Structure 1
Amino acid sequence: MKQSKQNAKYVRTNSNDSFVVVGETNGEVGDRRLSKTYEVVNSKHLMSNEDQQSVIKPDFSPLTKDTLSKYFDIDGRVVQESKLRQSLFHGGCNEEIRRTVWSFIFGLYPMLSTTRERKDLDIENHYKYHALKRRWQSYMGDYNEDNLSDSIDLSTLNMQDYMSADLPTCDVHTVTQDNLHSTFKDMARTYAWKKTMDSAPFSWYRVIEKDLPRTDLDHAYFKDDSNIHLDRMKNILATFGFFHPNVGYVQGMNDILTRFLIVLDSEVDAYWCFAKYMERIENDFDETGMVEKMVLVQKLLKELEPNLYSHMVNCHVEDLIFCHRWLLVSFKREFDYDESIRYFEMVQSQYLELDSPVAVSAQDDQFRLEVMNDKGKLRSTAAHIAETKYTFEVFVCVAIIMLKRQQFLACTEASDVFQVACNIRGTLCLQDVHAKAYNLFFKYCKKSVSEQYYRGNGNIFLNTLTKIFKWK
């Protein structure tokens, strides 16, 4: 008989090296009675001692229009970038200002650009994008899904013909000279002509058309009978793929792009924000890059919750492969749409990373505490304390695993673990996940400092500060 959630329990064995999980924590794993013994790596982590400690609950309120206006000067420059990123990190932003905020966070506009400069930049971006799109479309004109060959003859269109081709007119109005648009058109054609283009898109071009009909079909934005938004998605993904031949198109990019297209509601703006974002994280779409990211999740879970990681090993999922989708599309399917958008902008604010001033300050505080308590002495004099490759999204992965600790501990084999991971959607509260990841982040900052110490004689405080924090 299936045990109820209240009857699920964890029982210590007589051994100091293991304990047994008995029963179920929910109905997701199955109807059988579960019993699993696994190694206790650290007795401090036998139960959820994390929950018994004081937990910091960070602010969680969206950035408002009134607050955002305080970060700009009279000419339209963002003069309080750190405040903007901090506010965005602690709760995202209201929908009415999301388009503006994303334009800065994702690099469409430089933070210190003026309102007038951004109008000129809008014109430049418009013609550059359409010049890029026209170039690959010109080459693909004689190709379709049935006759797409292994490569495209890039000599089929000479530069003179291309430079005379017209581009759609930009409707942005400025107070500058009338010939500004003509100048930007010429510059854009030259820019696009000089860009390296993939001459063998056969490996990824067909996949775009297969993926698009399956992308966010339940969202109102893509229910237009004219399919204009799907056409825009195809144009953006193909343009990016042709002019980023080292990446091309990989499944998952379509899921990322929908966020930019829905929020910005502009093919041109969505392309540039998407392209800049992808250029920053493109290694994650490479097999080697994603494996490295998964290894970081493994290492962090093993360090912060060794018993739970030991259980994953016994379930034969020590690679934590179920986190792959979480990281690839940035938890798009684990939260509902509104919360997934907020999560995305919170993490991409890049406010809280291990090389950020906030993390350095936390490490510094712990450093001082260690010295004041016992004249600590470093185990090593490494140039840095924390593993800065642990991006905040890695902490989010570990936070979710730890929030679902009981469900995972009730698993006895890999299929159980994957079932729990797949059933997470709709069960997560973004605020809880954010608070958990936030606390894990600072726990790691402090832990990374404390572990450098052993209790002994000698005070090398000043020398160590100089080496680690590069203070004089």
Structure 2
Amino acid sequence: MVGWEAIAGMFGKNAGTEDLEAFYPVRPECKADIPKTRFRPRAGKTLSARRWHAAFSEDGHLDIAKVLRRIQRGGIHPSIKGLVWEFLLGCFDPNSSFEDRNQLRQQRSGKFITTPIITDDGQPIEDGGWHVTSAVADKKVAQWMLSLHQIGLDVVRTDRALTFYENETNQAKLWDVLAIYSWVDDDIGYVQGMNDICSPMVILLENEADAFWCFERAMRKLRENFRCSTNSIGVQSQLSTLSQVIRTVDPKLHQHLEDLDGGEYLFAFRMLMVLFRREFSFIDALYLWEVMWAMEYNPNIFSSYELPSTASDSNSAQTFDQKLLKQYGKFERINVKNGHTDKNSALAVYLAASVLESKNKVILKEAKGLDDVVKIMGDITGNLDAKKACKEALKIQNKYLKKAKKS
């Protein structure tokens, strides 16, 4: 654990890679294989622990607009990433108080149950959602048990370069979170790649229940990526939107990809599936995610049914005045202003478009077949600049919405 004095010292300067490795240490034998990290916490831009604590009122209400602005400028300092992610992903409502969140955390940790599940004489109560028929239970248990083997195989392969996972207790923590999620989401269950999404939450949040709920909230955004059938893949709708975006903003590139039989954009499958985890270093991927989540932030992300009754419900009546718009991230604000509500037009789609655009000339000049496109896209792994990619993504979003409006 890094002391607060050391953290303050790091933050007073432009922290280097060595300082960041104090938070995410890499196994010595893996250092040569780790992609170069571009993210650096920068004073005056990155959300620091001091500014984070200053954004709360005395009773715990968070000035989310102020926090979003700072994250969009320079990400989050490693010392507070997990705490901030819980708000970005909607685990907690900024309008709740410290007490509200303590109550909710206790409920989510299973420290107490408010609904009775047995009668006074010890008999099980078979209503209220607790009773499950044995036939359904058997089928669900069998499906769940099958997924546990795959989870075990994937856990030992996850972020192996980090010393964090040399500890079997930490591997077990990742296994626990994925196993519980697989049980809870019996519609999709566990799919390979979810481990890449879950791992940072387990690393950033010491409490296992907090890590689970952070992951569960992230999966509300991403779970459809993992829905697969014999006829379709989970990200197919996003790939279709990506095709539409490139066709609109860069018809020449789109036509070239069509000619190479790449018009379905399957080469971008992995980018969208696991949110660019493989295209960036571990540290840069975390930075990319938090900037994305800040840009996509919607004040309605928090489900009010989970909120203790004492909490505020100030967003119940929506009027898109300037004060309310400030509570949206940059990306979502543009969508709201344009009345654009397509759920498949996530920021990740525009990020994939920005990556393609950055390789426009190379693809047009060198790609003679689809394998060439795959190779060109593969070569970007570890070489992307997250901040630049987000900036370009917003430009493409603006350009696309303007052209789409005209047509």
Same fold (TM over 0.5): yes
Deviations 1:279-319 (A, max 9, x none): 33211111344111111111111111111111111222211
Q: 1:390 aligns with which of 331, 345, 353?
A: 345
Q: Could you say which residue in structure 2 is the equivalent of 1:207?
A: 150
- Tell me if 1:223 matches 2:223: no
Q: Could you say which residue in structure 2 is the equivalent of 1:136?
A: none
Q: Could you say which residue in structure 2 is the equivalent of 1:116?
A: 99
Amino acid at match of 1:65: A
Contact 1:359-1:442 at 8 Å conserved across structures: no
Q: C-alpha displacement at 1:390, in angstroms?
A: 1.4
Q: 1:443 aligns with which of 390, 399, 406?
A: 399
Amino acid at match of 1:423: D
Q: C-alpha displacement at 1:338, in angstroms?
A: 1.1
Contact 1:386-1:445 at 8 Å conserved across structures: no
In 1, Cα distance between the equivalents of 2:248 and 2:343?
15
Q: TM-score, normalised by structure 1?
A: 0.61
Contact 2:331-2:394 at 8 Å conserved across structures: no
Q: Considering only aligned residues, what root-mean-square deviation do their CA atoms show, in Å? A: 3.0
Q: C-alpha displacement at 1:81, in angstroms?
A: 2.2
Amino acid at match of 2:190: Y
Amino acid at match of 1:199: V
In 2, Cα distance between the equivalents of 1:319 and 1:199?
37
Q: What is the aligned residue count?
A: 315
Aligned CA distance change for structure 1 residues 386 and 329 (closer, same or farther; 3 Å): closer
Aligned CA distance change for structure 1 residues 96 and 317 (closer, same or farther; 3 Å): same
In 2, Cα distance between the equivalents of 1:416 and 1:299?
22
Aligned CA distance change for structure 1 residues 439 and 389 (closer, same or farther; 3 Å): same
In 1, Cα distance between the equivalents of 2:131 and 2:48?
42
Aligned CA distance change for structure 1 residues 258 and 393 (closer, same or farther; 3 Å): same
Contact 1:399-1:436 at 8 Å conserved across structures: yes
Deviations 1:46-73 (A, max 9, x none): xxxxxxxxxxxxxx93222343334321
Contact 1:315-1:414 at 8 Å conserved across structures: yes
Contact 2:225-2:235 at 8 Å conserved across structures: yes
Q: Could you say which residue in structure 2 is the equivalent of 1:86?
A: 69
Contact 2:49-2:79 at 8 Å conserved across structures: yes
- Tell me if 1:322 matches 2:267: yes
Q: Could you say which residue in structure 2 is the equivalent of 1:280?
A: 221
In 1, Cα distance between the equivalents of 2:357 and 2:341?
21
Aligned CA distance change for structure 1 residues 334 and 355 (closer, same or farther; 3 Å): closer
- Tell me if 1:404 matches 2:347: no
Q: Could you say which residue in structure 1 is the equivalent of 2:254?
A: 309
Contact 1:355-1:388 at 8 Å conserved across structures: no
Q: Tell me, what secondary structure is at the counterpart of 1:93?
A: coil
Q: Could you say which residue in structure 1 is the equivalent of 2:206?
A: 265
Q: C-alpha displacement at 1:360, in angstroms?
A: 4.5
Q: C-alpha displacement at 1:412, in angstroms?
A: 0.5
Contact 2:260-2:368 at 8 Å conserved across structures: yes
Q: TM-score, normalised by structure 2?
A: 0.70
- Tell me if 1:346 matches 2:297: no
Structure 1, unaligned runs of 5 or more: 1-59, 132-158, 165-189, 364-383, 453-472
Q: 1:69 aligns with which of 29, 42, 53?
A: 53
Contact 1:353-1:391 at 8 Å conserved across structures: no
Q: 1:429 aligns with which of 378, 385, 404?
A: 385
In 1, Cα distance between the equivalents of 2:217 and 2:390?
25
Q: Could you say which residue in structure 1 is the equivalent of 2:17?
A: none
Contact 1:63-1:87 at 8 Å conserved across structures: yes
Q: Tell me, what secondary structure is at the counterpart of 1:116?
A: helix
1:6-155 aligned at under 5 Å gives the runs 61-78=45-62, 80-127=63-110
Q: C-alpha displacement at 1:355, in angstroms?
A: 8.4
Q: 1:356 aligns with which of 328, 332, 349?
A: 332
Deviations 1:16-42 (A, max 9, x none): xxxxxxxxxxxxxxxxxxxxxxxxxxx
Deviations 1:263-282 (A, max 9, x none): 11321111011112213321
Amino acid at match of 2:378: C
Q: C-alpha displacement at 1:402, in angstroms?
A: 0.6
Amino acid at match of 1:437: A
In 2, Cα distance between the equivalents of 1:309 and 1:125?
47
Structure 2, unaligned runs of 5 or more: 1-43, 298-327
Amino acid at match of 1:218: A
Q: Tell me, what secondary structure is at the counterpart of 1:75?
A: coil
Q: C-alpha displacement at 1:385, in angstroms?
A: 6.5
Q: C-alpha displacement at 1:237, in angstroms?
A: 0.9
Aligned CA distance change for structure 1 residues 246 and 304 (closer, same or farther; 3 Å): same
Amino acid at match of 2:194: M
